[in-house]
């Protein structure tokens, strides 16, 4: 809902921009086309991400920033407020926020009306975001991006923005022309005005990621982390054309019409442009719940699915706590222990199709849920009961440790059932499954805060999971809780069962 509502804010702010700063109707049409007919932009106003919201706040910020240049006695509260909302939704916009501060000081100094109060307020408001950004970098969480500026940062993002790789070379001249035309315009080069401010904001957004990549080693942005630059390029392009003449503005509108072709070739009402294959077919969680009810244990699901956040969302809305295991080709021996496979059409996972039936499939999804139809009678070899009825805050809590000899004739799994109460405030209480052997090491980390719903955090339901064990090699298995921040967790009795069943 916040994303949908923020799209209304974007429309409203674009209307303000067109009314106050554009002279021709053709210019207003052009900017509407370039912003509202981009499938990439629309994508992120329909997804639960902050990137779309940040574009709405960016448009608000630009309007408020330009207003401070136009008024004799500007109010800086709105520009700082909109900037904080903008950066809070997308940290990639922090350099733009800081660059606008420098431009604001330059404009104030030129007019002889510089006041330290708004400058200090602006600067102080940015400090928490700077600190937060460095903390994320230290934790290795600023990982998304690329090292290829032309191919991915510029090329791939532009192709997504206009909705077609075929239109990439059509839209790219817009970026190039903006830079060339403005650098050749004396009113931009040698004066500080609204035109130069718009251009300098765009240039800053364009160059900041390159500087961060060189100086800080940050990855170069792409698609969703760079689309604000393309939005700025569209604004500057139309604004520049509008300042020239009515004919130039009309030509800009005609040029912008081509984005409609990209929109209709790329827009799909039932799937995302960036993640077109990430739809999980309806009924998957229902089928897994049915298995749990019938067998009194959690199913083992093996999948090549690459977007765990969607899976976690399904768990949340279905009040469930299922997980899945992603295997590499070298671990295909674990497939035989799976109760279900959830695979895409082009999956490279090695398995015997005759052993599985397709249970859940959907035309719009590239994934299907397959059930293992080989009936096996599992024997419980060992049962461990671990009593820890009380508060626990140590960094590690061992649930199971054991050595398994290689035996290709059987399938092994560890069944864990544990009940706990997690603090309402937290985020890193993890179940770690480590399997070590010669040549094949595997480590699965499951953050229980992502799988526990609010109902389960209260301790009203146990957490259950079955873990496949590699039987092709001698294997040392360790299963433990990793209390990363040493939270006070109330652990109750945990039961660990080791299951063995024949291959056939």
- Strands (E) in 345-395, as ranges, are 356-361, 367-372, 379-386, 390-392
Kind and range of the H or E element at 234?
helix 227-244
pLDDT, tens digit, 9 for 90 and up, residues 287-311:
888 888 888 888 888 887 777 767 7
What is the CATH architecture of 284-372? 3-Layer(aba) Sandwich (3.40)
Neighbours of 254 (CB within 10 A): 12
pLDDT, tens digit, 9 for 90 and up, residues 381-397:
777 777 666 777 888 88
Q: What are phi and psi of 291, to 5 degrees?
A: -60, -45
pTM of the model: 0.69
Query: DSSP 3-state assignment of 414?
Result: strand
Instruction: Single out the residue of 475, 352, 301 nearest to residue 403, CA to CA.
Output: 475
Lowest mean pLDDT among 218-222, 280-284, 302-306, 439-443: 439-443
Band the pLDDT of 24: cuts 50, 70, 90.
very high
Q: At what angle do helices 116-138 and 77-89 cross, to 10 degrees?
A: 10
Lowest mean pLDDT among 104-118, 187-201, 409-423: 187-201
For the chain, give every residue range classified as CATH 2.60.120.
379-502
pLDDT averaged over every residue in the chain: 79
Contacts of residue 158, Cβ cutoff 8 Å, sequence gap at least 6:
168, 171, 172, 175, 230
For the chain, give every residue range classified as CATH 3.40.190.
284-372
Residues 437, 473 contacting (CB under 8 angstroms): yes
Q: What are phi and psi of 344, to 5 degrees?
A: -85, 170
- Taking the C-alpha atoms of residue 99 and residue 105, their distance in angstroms, rounded to an integer, is 10
Residue 25 has pLDDT above 90, yes or no: yes
Candidates 2.130.10, 3.40.190, 2.60.120, 2.60.40; correct CATH number of 379-502? 2.60.120
Which ranges constitute the DSSP H helices of 22-150?
25-36, 39-43, 50-70, 77-89, 94-111, 116-138
- Taking the C-alpha atoms of residue 346 and residue 343, their distance in angstroms, rounded to an integer, is 8
- Taking the C-alpha atoms of residue 5 and residue 103, their distance in angstroms, rounded to an integer, is 31
CA 459 to chain centroid:
29
């Amino acid at each position: 809902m916040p994303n949908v509502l923020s799209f209304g804010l974007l429309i409203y702010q674009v209307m303000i921009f067109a009314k106050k700063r554009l002279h021709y109707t053709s210019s207003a049409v052009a900017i509407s086309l370039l912003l509202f007919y981009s499938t990439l932009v629309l994508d992120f106003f329909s997804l639960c991400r902050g990137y779309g919201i940040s574009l709405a706040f960016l448009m608000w910020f630009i309007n408020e920033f330009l207003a401070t240049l136009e008024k004799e006695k500007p109010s800086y509260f709105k520009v700082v407020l909109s900037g904080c909302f903008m950066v809070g939704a997308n940290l990639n916009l922090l350099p733009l926020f800081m660059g606008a501060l420098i431009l604001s000081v330059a404009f104030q100094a030129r007019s002889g009306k510089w006041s330290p109060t708004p400058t200090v307020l602006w600067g102080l408001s940015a400090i928490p975001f700077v600190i937060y950004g460095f903390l994320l970098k230290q934790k290795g969480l600023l990982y998304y991006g690329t090292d290829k500026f032309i191919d991915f940062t510029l090329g791939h993002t532009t192709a997504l923005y206009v909705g077609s790789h075929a239109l990439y070379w059509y839209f790219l001249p817009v970026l190039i022309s903006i830079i060339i035309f403005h650098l050749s315009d004396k009113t931009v080069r040698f004066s500080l005005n609204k035109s130069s401010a718009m251009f300098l904001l765009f240039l800053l957004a364009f160059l900041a990621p390159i500087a961060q990549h060189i100086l800080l080693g940050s990855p170069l942005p792409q698609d969703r982390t760079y689309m604000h630059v393309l939005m700025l390029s569209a604004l500057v392009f139309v604004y520049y054309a509008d300042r020239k003449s009515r004919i130039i503005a009309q030509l800009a509108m005609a040029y912008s019409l081509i984005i409609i072709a990209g929109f209709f070739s790329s827009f799909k009402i039932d799937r995302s442009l960036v993640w077109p294959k990430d739809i999980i077919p309806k009924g998957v969680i229902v089928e897994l719940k049915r298995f749990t009810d019938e067998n009194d244990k959690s199913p083992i699901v093996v999948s090549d699915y690459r977007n765990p956040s969607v899976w976690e969302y399904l768990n949340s809305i279905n009040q469930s706590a299922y997980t899945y295991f992603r295997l590499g080709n070298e671990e295909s021996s674990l497939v035989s222990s799976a109760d279900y496979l959830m695979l895409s059409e082009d999956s490279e996972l090695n398995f015997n199709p005759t052993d599985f039936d397709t249970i859940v499939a959907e035309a719009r999804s590239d994934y299907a849920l397959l059930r293992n139809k080989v009936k096996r009678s599992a024997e419980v070899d060992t049962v461990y009961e671990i009593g820890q009825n009380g508060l626990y805050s140590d960094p590690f809590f061992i649930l199971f440790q054991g050595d398994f000899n290689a035996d290709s004739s059987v399938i092994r799994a560890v069944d864990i059932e544990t009940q706990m109460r997690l603090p309402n405030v937290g985020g890193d209480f993890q179940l770690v499954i480590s399997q070590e052997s010669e040549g094949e090491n595997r480590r699965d980390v499951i953050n229980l805060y992502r799988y526990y719903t609010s109902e389960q955090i209260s301790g009203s339901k146990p957490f259950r999971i079955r873990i496949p064990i590699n039987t092709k090699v001698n294997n040392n298995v360790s299963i433990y809780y990793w209390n990363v921040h040493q939270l006070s967790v109330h652990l109750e009795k945990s039961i660990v069962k080791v299951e063995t069943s024949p291959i056939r």
